[in-house]
Amino acid sequence: MWGRKPRCVIRTKMASCSFEDVLAKAERDEAEKLKGITVSKELDLEFDPGNLLAFDKNRIDTREFKDCKREDFLRSLARDNTQLLINEMWKLPTERVEEVIVAKLPDPTTLLPREKPAPKPKPPTKWEQFAKLKGIQKKKKTNLVWDEVHKEWRRRWGYKRAKDDTKEWLIEVPENADPNEDQFNKRNKAKKERVARNEYNRLKNIARAQKIKVPGMGLAPTPRQSKAELAQAVNVAKISTASVGKFQDNLPKEKTPKNTGRKRKFQPLIGDFSSEKQKQLDLLKVMDSKKPRLDVTKAVNKQMREEDMESRHKNKKDFGKKGRRGKMSGKGKGKAGGKGKGPKGKGRKPQMKQGKR
């Protein structure tokens, strides 16, 4: 019995030590996962909140970079810099938009190269201008409403919507309506008119935004169309097929349309982005190069045009000098000749040409 007690004490100590180590390790792992929002750096980072950029000019410890794993070191560095950028974002003024707090970003200070111009903001529609003038705020409606007929919640719009009048098998005829009129056909016709009116208003808003003259309601054609308008109508009808007029024959004495425009080709949004990557790399290479990129063909053509312009200008000057000398020479023409008297044909001896009389 006396020999077993010390063994039990030693085991309990070892168990307590291992338990404490496990707890300490778990706390360290938890602290590593949940790092604080305060990050200390030797040099403060430069921020550009407009572009959500942060510039870290601190020197990288090469010894730590070599001793630790590269992925872990880079992940830790990116986490700290991102935390500093987020702390900087919380210093910006905020506002509430549709029950969400958003930050107002200032104008960017770093100029970033763009292949295409930034999109312009869309001009407000007529309803948006009216709502802003009257102070009408947009209220978000719920997608589900209570249907009294079916006694259940249904969608407000679309398939299986609440209060769907198209599913009615019986329609009450109004007192002032014709009893022989088809009310189902009348309702379908009214719906088509509403859809057409909404589409017309949408196109009118687009035309107003692009400052295009909008025709009146009904789109009535002009009584007499010009030759150009007729040719344009023929061309539109010709390319309004599934093959875009590829297999359409030309009319007799039909001329090829002019100024039809060129089809724009856009890069695909999905798939292989190697061409787009190469374009961006070429653009950065041109911007980063110290020597400007020289287009030999363009430079030679410009030099040839300048030489042609100089030679033409020189020829004009020489031609003007010769013309003035030619006008001064000649005898018998007014006072310049010295011998001419009176009008033409008087005071002169006729000159006879050699040969037969």
Kindly report, residue by residue over 222-245, the tens digit of the pLDDT. 667 788 778 888 888 888 888 878
What does the alpha-carbon distance between residue 5 and residue 17 come to, in Å, rounded to a whole number? 19
347 or 205, higher pLDDT = 205
Q: Residue 5 pLDDT > 80, yes or no?
A: no
Q: Residue 321 pLDDT > 70, yes or no?
A: no
Confidence of residue 259 (pLDDT cuts 50, 70, 90): low
What does the alpha-carbon distance between residue 95 and residue 27 come to, in Å, rounded to a whole number? 38
Confidence of residue 14 (pLDDT cuts 50, 70, 90): very low
User: Considering the chain, what percentage of its residues have pLDDT values greater than 90?
Assistant: 11
What does the alpha-carbon distance between residue 103 and residue 37 come to, in Å, rounded to a whole number? 19
What does the alpha-carbon distance between residue 126 and residue 134 come to, in Å, rounded to a whole number? 12
Whether the predicted model's global pTM rises above the 0.75 cut: no
Q: DSSP letter at 254?
A: P
98 or 185, higher pLDDT = 185
pLDDT of the residue at 34: 62
Q: Residue 175 pLDDT > 60, yes or no?
A: yes
Rounded to an integer, the average pLDDT of 116-120 is 84
Tell which residue, 81, 77, 74, 76, has the closest CA to residue 47: 81
Name the β-bridge partners of 154: 145
Element (H, E) at 18: helix 4-33
Q: Are 209 and 123 in contact (CB under 8 A)?
A: yes
From residue 161, give the alpha-carbon distance in Å to each of 153, 192, 342: 9, 19, 108
DSSP letter string, 23-71: HHHHHHHHHHHS--S----SSPPEEETTTTEEE--PPP-HHHHHHS-HH
Tell which residue, 37, 135, 126, has the closest CA to residue 88: 37
100-103/94-97 β-pairing: antiparallel
- Ramachandran region, residue 28 (left: φ > 0; alpha: ψ -120 to 50; beta: rest): alpha
Q: Are 153 and 146 in contact (CB under 8 A)?
A: yes
Q: Residue 9 pLDDT > 50, yes or no?
A: no
Q: Residue 8 pLDDT > 50, yes or no?
A: no
Tens of pLDDT, residue by residue over 270-285, are: 777 788 888 888 888 8
Tens of pLDDT, residue by residue over 277-307, are: 888 888 888 888 777 777 788 888 999 999 9
SS3 145: strand
pLDDT of the residue at 215: 62
What does the alpha-carbon distance between residue 75 and residue 79 come to, in Å, rounded to a whole number? 6
Q: Where are the domains of the chain?
A: 19-103
What does the alpha-carbon distance between residue 11 and residue 25 come to, in Å, rounded to a whole number? 21
Q: Residue 194 pLDDT > 90, yes or no?
A: yes
Under 8 Å CB-to-CB from 298, ≥6 apart: which residues?
A: none
SS3 95: strand
Confidence of residue 331 (pLDDT cuts 50, 70, 90): very low
SS3 338: coil
pLDDT of the residue at 153: 93
What does the alpha-carbon distance between residue 136 and residue 138 come to, in Å, rounded to a whole number? 7
53-55/46-48 β-pairing: antiparallel
Say which amino acid occupies 283. L
Q: DSSP letter at 165?
A: G
Asked which of 128-142, 153-167, 179-193, 256-270 is least confident by mean pLDDT, the reply is 256-270
Under 8 Å CB-to-CB from 95, ≥6 apart: which residues?
A: 101, 102, 104
Q: Residue 109 pLDDT > 50, yes or no?
A: yes
To the nearest 5 percent, what fractions of the chain are helix, strand and coil?
45, 5, 50
* φ, ψ at 7 (rounded to 5°): -60, -40
Torsion sign (Cα): 246, 248, 249, 252: negative
SS3 322: helix
Confidence of residue 340 (pLDDT cuts 50, 70, 90): very low
